[in-house]
Structure 1
Amino acid sequence: MTTMALEPGDAATWAGSAVALLMAVFAVWQQRQQNKGQAEADALARQQLDAAERRALTVEENLQRLIAELPTALQGLAQAQLATVPVRHAASVSWELTRPKKNMFVMRNTGTETGAGVKVDIGDHPAGLTRRLPEDAVVRAGESTEFMIMGAWGSPVPRELRVSWDGCDEPAVLPVPQ
């Protein structure tokens, strides 16, 4: 019968392996914490960008309203330099949805007016399978917004999206391209 003796180098090897395992577990934990912080920072930055767009749109509309209220002597000069006051109609905002990649969608405002307070509703599709869905966004005429909707076994990509914005009576229903 042979007995295995513990050599002086065996204890150091096991201690080094344990330290390496602990460091690997700590690195994975730290990476997850950083990913959570980055996701929160991305969401905050997106909210700030949307708020800045809403403020810019409000300033533009207020400027147009002030120009319209100028005395008639100055109003002719101001109208020659700036565009006339836009009248916002929900009917002059329309949408086109394209799918350049499997999970990437581009929604373009094909109308003639700016859509403010734009929100995309995907029904009961899990929120964890979406990225950057517009909520209270501002999309000017001819501009677009990108977002992701991923499908899973139990939750395929929806067949249609509902888009609502300020001034529309009921949401527009857009078929999802296959």
Structure 2
Amino acid sequence: MVTLAAGFEAKDWVSNGIAVLALIATSALGLWTNRRNRAAQSRQEELVRTQHDTNTRLAEILERLADRVDAGTAAAARNVEWALEHASKHRWLLRNLGPATARGVVIDRDALGGARVDLQPEPPADLGPGESLSITALEAWGAPLADEIRVRWDDTEMATLPLPRWL
């Protein structure tokens, strides 16, 4: 056995040296990992901020687009003009005289009183300029037809038209 200064043997120095090197390597690895984690966390926070900013801008763009679509739909709905023509004793034609297409045209059947009502084409219908919807209404069980019909289109617009009578 080799004895070195202060009563330590060579094997003690080697094992202590290995332990010190392991401690230094572990500390260096811990510092390196800590720096990488902080850098990754910083990148993650930046990505979250960027994503939030992008989502905010996207929401603003979508709101502006929705406003434009709503304005366009409202303008188109205002460009619809209706005429109700009496075609025969129990049949009327609802004609779109305006320059715009009326989308989702619906007749309020309840407003026609107790009449049996047949509509062609079956609502909701899209009626372009000059196109018409045929309304056949028969008085039922002694209930007279109403004096007017209500037309709804583009989900928001509504018109009330007098119902012409057969002379």
Per the normalisation by structure 1, the TM-score is: 0.46
Q: Which has the higher strand share?
A: 2
Larger radius of gyration: 2
